[in-house]
Structure 1
Amino acid sequence: MKDKLYLKFKDQQFNINIIIIFLMSLIILYYNFYLGGISFVVLFYITYYNFKIKHKKKIEWIQTIEDLSLEIDDTIKQTILKLPIPLCILEFDESISWYNKKFYNMVNKDNIFHKNIKELMPNLSLRKKLNETKEFYTEVDFNNKKYTVVYNIVKTKKDKDIKYLIVLYWLDKTEYVKLFNKYEDEKSVIALVQIDGYDEVLESANQDVRPLINAELERKLNTWAISLNGALRRNSKDKYTLIIDSKQLRDLEQDKFTILDQIRDVDYGNTLPLTLSIGIGAMGDTHEQNLKYAISALDLALGRGGDQAVIKRKDKSIFYGGKSKAVEKKNKVRARLIAYALKELILEAEDIYIMGHKYPDLDAIGAGIGIYDICKLLNKEANIVIQSSNSSIDLFMERVKENESYKDVFISREDAIRNCRRDSLVIVVDTHRPNFTECEELLKISEKIAVIDHHRRGVEFIDNAVLMYHETYASSTCEMVTELIQYIDSKTSIDNLGADALLAGITLDTKNFTFKTGVRTFEAAAMLRKLGADTTSVKKLFQGDLDNFIAKAQIIKNSQIIGGIIAISVCDDGIENSKLISAQAADELLNIKGIRASFVLGKGNDDTIFISARSLGDINVHIFMEKLGGGGHIDVAGAQLKDISIEDTVKMLKESILEYLKEE
């Protein structure tokens, strides 16, 4: 570039000199004709000589450029031919028009010229866009190797014809992928293992075999850890920490955590089964984060009744196991401590709001009435938040309206939101999921929240509660509230309607003291009877009319039996109280010989699809409902789905059941 500028400058200087000589020659010619003529001859000679020299140099310069271009073209060709990565050029119809030796060695096949590349690599996908400035990328597996294919569109022009070609560069990343997978496989995973109800299990066995149970437990857990190449450490009598790699975690998932079944098989005369709860933290950025995930996963496993493994990877949780019911705790120390803490919260509160779940049943409304009675015992005003009644509680709501003791007890969502403050006490009963509560907005307003629930814990949870009373072994929330009442005041006394409501909630969730009924359930019922509960009045709350019985009979008649053990049926459209009738029909289906679980589907007024699921206990219907966004217990569960037809829901449920039966 500098040479070119220099030559241009020299040309300009020469032209100026010529002009000067020309002017001088004219002056000389004016004074002396002969000398002027000689000057013009010299001028013409200089001009001619300069033109001749410039022309010669121009030819030499062009020749130099042409020689250089030939050298560059040859260099480019040699570079492409000797490129250390595979390269090929395709026509726009994806036929191979040229390739280098590396590509030929990679393909390792003859006669590939003009062959369509899809014949060689069916899994190669190219986006053909006429964009000469943009590079495209795609991934492909070929001959047990992984490649990143970088390609672009090249426009060529011959005469007046324009042609587009696709140039592909094959970058072998096999070793990188192997190294990355090795890195991922060797990431540490933290597992926290806890023996469920360890003391209760040992107490259920004779004293002379308790060391054998402990030794067998240790042997199985150590064998399990060795098989995973993990490090197991016992932290206390019933708690362990296990460190494994991510690869071993994937093996555990594929194996469906059979260690849960192996521990459950330990039998030395113990009447209570030995079960594990496992919380695993993975994919955290640090070991500390994995530990937090593991703690959260273990809390989730314990909150769902134990006997299961929960893997928490950042915001995603996966569940395995959960085949056993939670073991009932005979000790009531926790109930007494919770009662004391709840009493302190109520006494400190200026205003109190009690709410259950949406579309409340007798357990939710009964527990709410029970908490209201506790507030009255402590001379505190409270309100139960409920937007509207439904068929399952209509009879009870009519009795409440007739009772002066419960005048103005209910409040709408709008009024509750308007009056609630940061220091208001919000007590949630019979649910722990924020979006299931009657008024979720109250949870965002108040900073003092108490939760009382017995359902197996789901992923969504009210995590900012100042008081959490969550016992999955309990038959119902009403049973838990009844136990709290007896520790609130030594002179316990509640209204007869409140006692009826609590007994009705227990009766509903235990299906007339059939399911999930323990010693404490009967003790709670006995206490309520002492407080004035009338079993006949409770029985009337469950009465239905003739149309309901006919509708239930039709649902049972239309049922399908899958695998000889699971019944599915659909509630017809247009039936009033379809949700209540479906739940009752699901209960009735379990009376059929051989049926171990039942599912009844129906459609609500807002086109929401609801499912009532029931089981005799050996099939965990909670797992089925959880996959559909619902929840519940092992033997009683439900779900609500939107933006889906009832036919598609039935199909999805059947597929889930068939998959379960196949695994069993």
Structure 2
Amino acid sequence: MKSGRKVNKLLAPNTRIYLMILAIFALVIALFHVYLGIIAAIVWVFLVYYNWISNHERSKKWEDYIESLSGEIDSAARYAILNLPFPLTLLNLDGKVTWYNSSFTELFPDTRLLGKDIHDLVSSFSLEKLTSEENGYSDTKLGERYYRIFYNIVEVNKESKDDRFIVMLYWVDITEYTKLKELYSDERSIVAIVQVDNLEDVLKSTKEEKRMFVLSEIDRKVNLWASRMNAVMKKYQKDRYLIVFENKFLENLEAKRFAILDDMREIDLGNKTPVTLSIGVGSLGRNLSKLEEYAFSALELALSRGGDQAVVRMKGDFKFYGGKTKAVEKRNRVKARVIAHGLRPLIDDSPKVFIMGHKYPDMDCFGAAIGMYRAVVNRGKDAYIVLNQVNDAIFSVFELFADNDEYKFIGDEEALEMITDKDLLVVVDTHRPSFTECPPLLEKTDRVVLIDHHRVGTEQIEKVVLRYTEPYASSTCELVSEILQYIDNKQKIDKIEAEAMLAGIAVDTKNFSFKTGVRTFDAASFLRRLGADTTLVKQLFQDDIGTFVAKSNIVSTASMYKDSIAIAVCPKDLSNPQLVAAQGADELLNIRGINASFVIGQKDEDLIFISGRSLGDINVQLIMEKLGGGGHLEVAGAQLTGVTMKEAREKLEAAIDEFFEEEE
């Protein structure tokens, strides 16, 4: 290609070369004959002049042609813009309409558009939001039509500061696409699994001749609920139903907060125990198999939170509805025995066992760790309790073990160096990985056992070989004491260990006044038989004068909110603010007319905590979950970062307001 271009250049006519050759010839002629040279020179000058004139005229004609062509293009462009098949609008940077094409006038047939503010014409449109969108467009609705608006900012006047730029808006009609998208969303399948939480207990509390009526009424209500959604329902176990329905009904279910939960509790056909349901809903799955998986995981989460609630899973997100009643205590110990028998070989097959609770441990956490330590040591295995810092909440009970070489307490750095993938890690009194004493320890081994009594939230430890989470239990110490009774026939448990576990039960039940069931007293009785001294346990809870004054300060400065809720602030510069706040919240419940209490405190500059307590009428767990915390119906808490004390109180009040709105 390059050689061809060179040949073309040689063959193409070039008048400059010709004129140079003629000049040389004229010079040569002049050397031989002067007059003929002068004539040749005159001819050469004429040719140069003629060539200049010809080139000038040719350039002028070419310029005229280009100008006429540009004019035609400008005319075509103006015609195209004016008659674009979609609306086009020009705005100044203030949002005023400066020009528009005929398609845009069809959107506002009876309106004078020039000079109008685009925000007044289209209330759902925001020029500022559009120009900040990363994708370069914004969707809006105008009447019954949907438009996708693209923009382009053009510099039109470099000299003017005020009118230097204009904004071009291109309105693309996406109505059909939007309707198709909505139709797809409405008809997308949803899978729900419904389980009767307490069918056995309900039937046991019902006379035999009326049991069939209760079962029939349960089936009727579930069938009626499914039929209202045009759903496909299949009862595949005596207490479980599989329901498939369209996504358009899910929004209504969420708006009514799964009213079937309340309908079931109203069944009264001779049953002394109310019927409760747990519902797991799977949404946004790739296929029906994935939806079923989501529904099962949501149901498992609902059951682990105590039942009587619905959980909706949308991929990795969870929504919770219900859960307003106390978890029903199970009367048999079958599960405790199964867990104990399953834990035994896990301990025996592990070279070492590490026991870890949550950060800032309380007596329940510490007592449960001591109980599991004893269970491991009795199996002849080395055990270690991961504990970084002894806080004021456990200082008194820790002193019972501090000088005893039999108990091995290690920090997180030492634990990370010692643990291997063959060792066993037992996590007690928390299911949240971020709340544990050493979160990286969870990644060091796949052999993790979880024992907890808190209602499970969306954040939980995933890699668990054995899970014992019972929200009906008063404390983790209650669960551990039951495990100790079944893990070995001949358990050697020291007196101080029994006292540590009894103290854990006492602190979570507020001396057996809250969240206390039959099995709570059974566990306490078991520990008492092992020699636990109740007087010593009471002494573990004695406060110093500073803590007592701080609690009194909380009570005296508390203010009422919504008539029955007390909100107070924990005094600053305390060595144990979280413990004082929790105890202050407990003290506020002793005041007549207060059904729930919240105490806000500050741990450091970046961490603000809230302790919530309730007598049972107000679910403080649901309130704290709105702030990223959790707990139980009667005892819950939350931690906030990056906010001031004033902002924390505003967030708390907003969460309380939202809770009562949902109740209504």
Cα pair distance change 1:550/1:115, threshold 3 Å = closer
Q: Structure 1: where are the runs of 5+ without partners?
A: none
Which range moved further: 58-67 or 597-606?
58-67
Partner of 1:12: 14
Partner of 1:661: 660
Contact 1:22 1:40 in 2 (8 A): no
Please give the per-residue CA displacement for 1:223-269, whole angstroms capped at 9, x wherever unaligned. 21122232222121111222222221122112221121111222223
Q: Does 1:455 align with 2:467?
A: no
Q: Distance in 2 between matches of 1:135 and 1:497?
A: 65
Partner of 2:330: 329
Contact 1:494 1:531 in 2 (8 A): yes
Q: Distance in 2 between matches of 1:348 and 1:159?
A: 83
Please give the per-residue CA displacement for 1:321-373, whole angstroms capped at 9, x wherever unaligned. 11122222222222112111211122222212212212222211111111122
For 1:356, the aligned partner's letter is: G
Partner of 2:529: 530
Report how far residue 618 of structure 1 moved. Answer: 2.7
Q: Does 1:357 align with 2:358?
A: yes
Q: Distance in 1 between matches of 2:92 and 2:451?
A: 70
Task: Give TM-score scaled by structure 1 length.
Answer: 0.88
Q: Does 1:151 align with 2:115?
A: no
Contact 1:610 1:639 in 2 (8 A): yes
For 1:604, the aligned partner's letter is: K
Q: Does 1:612 align with 2:614?
A: no
Partner of 1:217: 218
SS of 2:338's equivalent in the other structure is helix
Cα pair distance change 1:83/1:624, threshold 3 Å = same
Which range moved further: 553-562 or 476-485?
553-562
For 1:493, the aligned partner's letter is: K
SS of 2:293's equivalent in the other structure is helix
Partner of 1:467: 466
Cα pair distance change 1:51/1:569, threshold 3 Å = closer
Report how far residue 529 of structure 1 moved. Answer: 2.0
How many residues of Structure 1 are paired with residues of Structure 2 in the alignment?
A: 655
Cα pair distance change 1:135/1:317, threshold 3 Å = closer
Partner of 2:602: 603
For 1:256, the aligned partner's letter is: R
Contact 1:608 1:641 in 2 (8 A): yes
Partner of 2:434: 435
For 2:303, the aligned partner's letter is: L
Q: How does 1:18-167 map to 2 (within 5 A)?
A: 68-90=69-91, 94-121=95-122, 123-126=124-127, 137-154=137-154, 165-167=166-168
SS of 1:459's equivalent in the other structure is coil
Contact 1:135 1:151 in 2 (8 A): no
SS of 1:641's equivalent in the other structure is strand
Report how far residue 38 of structure 1 moved. Answer: 12
SS of 1:180's equivalent in the other structure is helix
Contact 1:129 1:153 in 2 (8 A): no
Q: How does 1:254-653 map to 2 (within 5 A)?
A: 254-401=255-402, 404=404, 407-604=406-603, 608-653=607-652
Cα pair distance change 1:492/1:50, threshold 3 Å = closer
Q: Structure 2: where are the runs of 5+ without partners?
A: 1-6
Report how far residue 26 of structure 1 moved. Answer: 8.7
Cα pair distance change 1:501/1:144, threshold 3 Å = same
Which range moved further: 409-418 or 426-435?
409-418
Please give the per-residue CA displacement for 1:457-488, whole angstroms capped at 9, x wherever unaligned. 11111111211111111111111111111112
Cα pair distance change 1:102/1:53, threshold 3 Å = same
Contact 1:90 1:98 in 2 (8 A): yes
For 1:516, the aligned partner's letter is: K
SS of 1:106's equivalent in the other structure is coil
Report how far residue 6 of structure 1 moved. Answer: 9.8
Contact 2:223 2:233 in 1 (8 A): yes
Report how far residue 9 of structure 1 moved. Answer: 6.6
Partner of 1:188: 189
For 2:450, the aligned partner's letter is: V
For 2:463, the aligned partner's letter is: N
Contact 1:360 1:393 in 2 (8 A): yes
For 1:82, the aligned partner's letter is: N
Please give the per-residue CA displacement for 1:153-204, whole angstroms capped at 9, x wherever unaligned. 4455899999654443322222222222222222222222211122222212
Cα pair distance change 1:76/1:397, threshold 3 Å = closer
Q: Distance in 1 between matches of 2:406 and 2:290?
A: 51
Contact 2:193 2:295 in 1 (8 A): yes
Q: Distance in 2 between matches of 1:384 and 1:164?
A: 68
Cα pair distance change 1:18/1:558, threshold 3 Å = closer
Report how far residue 136 of structure 1 moved. Answer: 5.7
For 2:493, the aligned partner's letter is: I
The root-mean-square deviation of aligned C-alpha atoms, in Å, is 3.7
Cα pair distance change 1:601/1:168, threshold 3 Å = closer
Which range moved further: 212-221 or 110-119?
110-119
Contact 2:19 2:44 in 1 (8 A): no
SS of 1:604's equivalent in the other structure is strand
Cα pair distance change 1:57/1:245, threshold 3 Å = same
Partner of 2:233: 232
Cα pair distance change 1:352/1:145, threshold 3 Å = same
Cα pair distance change 1:482/1:118, threshold 3 Å = closer
Partner of 2:208: 207
Q: Distance in 2 between matches of 1:392 and 1:514?
A: 20
Task: Give TM-score scaled by structure 2 length.
Answer: 0.88
Q: Distance in 1 between matches of 2:157 and 2:605?
A: 65
Please give the per-residue CA displacement for 1:429-464, whole angstroms capped at 9, x wherever unaligned. 111111212222321222321111111111111111
Cα pair distance change 1:104/1:455, threshold 3 Å = same
